[in-house]
Amino acid sequence: MTDYLKRRNFLAGLAALGAAPSLSVSAVTSAGKRTGVKITKVEMLRVTAKGGRKVLYLKLHSDAGVAGLYGPIDNEAALMVDQFFKRRLIGADPLASEAFWDRMFRASRHSRGSHYLMGLSAVDNALWDLKGRLLGLPVYRLLGGERRKVRAYASCLGFSQEPAALQAKARELKAEGYRHQKWFVRDRGPSHGPAGVVEDAKVVRLLREAVGDDVDLMFDAFWQWDLQYALAWTRRVEQYNPRWIEEPFQTANLDAFIELSRETSIPVATGEHFYSRWDVHKFLKADAIMVVQADPEWCGGVSELVKMCTLASVHGVNVIPHGHSIHAAMHVVASQPVKVCPLVEYLIQKMRSYYHVEKHPPRPVNGMLDLPDRPGFGIELDESKIEDIRPVSWQQQ
220 binds Mg ion (CB under 5 A): yes
Q: Which residue is nearest to Mg ion (CB)?
A: 220
Binding mask 235-254 for Mg ion (x = CB under 5 A): --------------------
Q: Which stretch binds Mg ion (CB under 5 A): 86-94, 152-160, 194-202, 216-224?
A: 216-224
Q: Does residue 345 touch Mg ion according to CB under 5 A?
A: no
Closest CB 293 distance from Mg ion, rounded Å:
7
Q: Which is nearer to Mg ion, 129 or 220 (CB)?
A: 220
Least separation in angstroms between residue 275's CB and Mg ion is 16
Compute the least distance from the CB of residue 247 to Mg ion, in Å: 5
DSSP string, 125-160: HHHHHHHHHHHT-BHHHHTT---SEEEEEEE-TT--
Other beta carbons within 10 angstroms of residue 86's beta carbon come to 20
Q: Is 129 in the site for Mg ion (CB under 5 A)?
A: no
182 or 277, CB closer to Mg ion?
Answer: 182
Contacts of 155 (CB under 8 A, 6+ apart): 182, 323, 345, 346, 347, 348
Taking the least distance from each CB to Mg ion, the nearer of 126 and 343 is: 343
**Residue 4: count of CB within 10 angstroms of its CB:** 8
Q: Which stretch binds Mg ion (CB under 5 A): 130-138, 161-169, 195-203, 219-227?
A: 219-227
CB of 392 to Mg ion, least distance (A): 30
Indicate the residue among 44 and 266 with the shorter CB distance to Mg ion: 266
Q: Shortest approach of Mg ion to residue 224 CB, angstroms? A: 11
Question: Shortest Cβ distance from residue 323 to Mg ion (Å)?
Answer: 8
**Is the Cβ of residue 69 or residue 218 nearer to Mg ion in the bound state?**
218
Nearer to Mg ion, 86 or 322 (CB): 322
CB of 271 to Mg ion, least distance (A): 9
Distance, CA of 38 to CA of 91 (rounded, Å): 5
Angle at 345 between CA 344 and CA 351, to 5 degrees: 125
| Strand duo 268-270 + 291-292: pairing | parallel
How far is it, in rounded angstroms, from Cα 308 to Cα 292? Answer: 8
SS3 269: strand
In DSSP terms, 181 is beta-bridged to: 154, 217
User: How many angstroms separate the CA atoms of 311 and 341, rounded?
Assistant: 12
The answer to whether 324 touches 298, Cβ cutoff 8 Å, is yes
Site residues for Mg ion per CB under 5 A: 220
